[in-house]
Each structure stands twice: as C-alpha cells, then as structure tokens.
Structure 1
Amino acid sequence: MIFSGGATTSGGAAEARLMADYAKSVLEFDGTVVLEDQSRTTWENVMKVTPLLEDADRIKIVSQPAHALKARAYLRRQRPDLAVKLVRADDYRPGEWMIVKPLLALYGLWTLRGLKAGERKISL
C-alpha cells in the first residue's frame, strides 16, 4: 500500500506517515507500506507515486471522494497508460464525515470545476 502526502504545517508530521500509522495501529494492516512524504499537492501526490505503480495490475486511489476523483483525473492526464488500470474504490461510506460533509462537498465541487467530462469517471 502506498501512502502519499507531505507535512501540511512546518515541522508537522507528513500526511503519508499519519495515514500509514493509522492503517497499522487502528485498522491492523500488516502488509507492505511505502511512503511518499514530500508532495504538497494532489498533482504532486500522483506524479511522485507513478514510478511505484509501473508494475501494478490494478490501481485503486482511496481518499475523500472529491479528492480521489481529482487524483484519478490527474493520473489520466499525467499517465494515461497507467490510468487504464484504475479500479473502483470505496470512496463513500454512509455516515462518514457527517458534520463537515456539506462543506467538503461544496469545496470539492469548486476544486473539480476544471475537469473535463471524460475525467469525471471513477474507473475505465
């Protein structure tokens, strides 16, 4: 499993490290973990992990729904040859993020406004 994301604050822990620690300690994930902890944007997340995906049979991008959609669109732009390996992920779980979901949805729609119609699909 690849976790991607740098620190959001100066001196703070990298998002990749926080997600990996959660997967191991709370979800009891015991598989191989690879960290990409330098990226600052979604574009960089995708760009920096694509070398790690070259030999993958399937690619599943998991995140908050709007963020995952954006990452999949960026993979299609950066590496269409890898994007054909995208498979559906469980982006939405009922009840998750209940209090902030309306704000996240509005923000997500605003950030996705530049995507073309063909880039708004979950998998090929």
Structure 2
Amino acid sequence: MRLWTGVAVAGAAALAWGEWLNWRWSRALVGNSGGAVEAVVVLGYRNPQATANLINRWRVRAAIRSVDADRAHGTRVIFSGGATSGGAAEAQLMADYAKSVLAFDGTVVLEDQSRTTWENITNVIPLLEDVDRIKIASQPAHALKARAYLRRQRPDLAEKLVRADDYHPGEWMVVKPLLALYGLRTLRGLEADERKVSL
C-alpha cells in the first residue's frame, strides 16, 4: 500500500511539474501590445505524410483559438514550414487542415521554405513588419524558443509579442512531463533574461 501511495504521489508531482513548466514557458517573453492588426504565426512540425499530423493539427487548433475575436478581421494567420520529405510543405498541410476541418475563413499566409525554427522566424519577419501584435503558436517550449529567436533577430518586432492561447490547464496533461523534459533540453541555449515570465 505504501508503495502505491508513493507511486501516486510521484505521478501527481510529475504532472504538476509538467503543468507548471508549460505554464511558465507560455508566459515568457510576451507583453501586452495593443493595436488592431495582429499576426498569429503557426510553426510546423516535421510532417512526411499527405495530411497534417497530430502535432501540427494541435498547433493549428491553438493558433485558431488564439485569434482575438475583437481583432478577427485584422488578423492574419501565418503558417510556416517547408516540405520535409519531398511532399507538400508543412505550411500548406496546416492551412488545408485549418480551412477544411476547422472551417477557418480568415486571412491565411503561407511561408513554405523553412526547415528549422530559426528559419521559421527569419522567413516570417517580412510578413510581420506592419502588424501591431504578434502571437506564436506551438507547444509552449517551442513557442518560447521562437520568441527568443525573434528577439535576437529583430528586437523591435519582439516588443510586439503577446501570448498565444497555447496553454490550457489539463490539456495534454499526461504527456506534459515528457514535453517539459524535452523543452528543458531544447531551451538550454536560452539566456536567463529570455526565460523571464510576464504575468
């Protein structure tokens, strides 16, 4: 009985830790810029099949729910990601899913050349020059990495970063500890001030 209690406590602690880290990452390097023109950048994940995979489908859903209802007419959703195995670009697959499955009828822009997160940011910068608010939709750790890259490449545009709706308590709860471990690994190159949480 004591063993099972210990296992249950350890499991609960791991789930809470995963939730906490993902919550923190979703709130780092964001501000509260105003303005009518908004861009939601959706980062693709390697997608060798002919339709959007599970991770890309989740990222698209997170992006669509990040569109501010009050700014919907002034929002463009930028799907970013190139082809990974000779098939369609991730950007195209995500846009197709947004339109055909989620019935998204807003403004869509494709950036279909990127193969890395750094390239995602480099290649979407020309599409962000005239916006007032920028949201980056992905898993929280990955989105934070992309925000840090925007801050390094264009600190003036990084001032326009606001939080995307990429974190919901309990969503993906069972795998959040694994996402947290993976996130810690991928975020090792970030500086302390690039992890600062904005409440």
Residue 55 in structure 1 maps to residue 110 in structure 2: no
Q: Classify the secondary structure of the residue corresponding to 2:110.
A: strand
Structure 2 letter corresponding to 1:32: T
Q: Does 1:120 align with 2:176?
A: no
Aligned-pair CA distance for 1:29? 1.1
Larger radius of gyration: 2
**2:104 maps to 1:4:** no
- Distance in 2 between residues matched to 1:79 and 1:121, nearest whole Å: 18
**CA RMSD for the aligned pairs?**
1.9
Instruction: Considering fraction of residues, name the structure with more helix.
Output: 2
Structure-2 residue corresponding to 1:45: 120
TM-score (norm 1): 0.89
Spell out, residue by residue over 1:9-41, the C-alpha distance to the aligned partner (whole angstroms, 9 max, x if none).
Answer: x22322111211121122221011111111000
TM-score, length of structure 2 as denominator length: 0.57
Unaligned runs of 5+ in 1: none
Q: Which has the higher contact order (CA 8 A, sep 6+)?
A: 2
Q: Runs of 5+ in structure 2 lacking a partner?
A: 1-76
Cα-to-partner distance string for 1:49-102 (whole Å, 9 max, x where unaligned) = 001100001111111111100000000000001000001111212343345433
Identity of aligned residues (%): 87
Kept in 2, the 8 Å contact 1:16–1:37? The answer is yes
1:94-113 to structure 2, matched below 5 A, reads: 94-113=169-188
* SS of residue paired to 2:137: coil
Distance verdict in 2 for CA 1:70–1:94, change over 3 Å: same
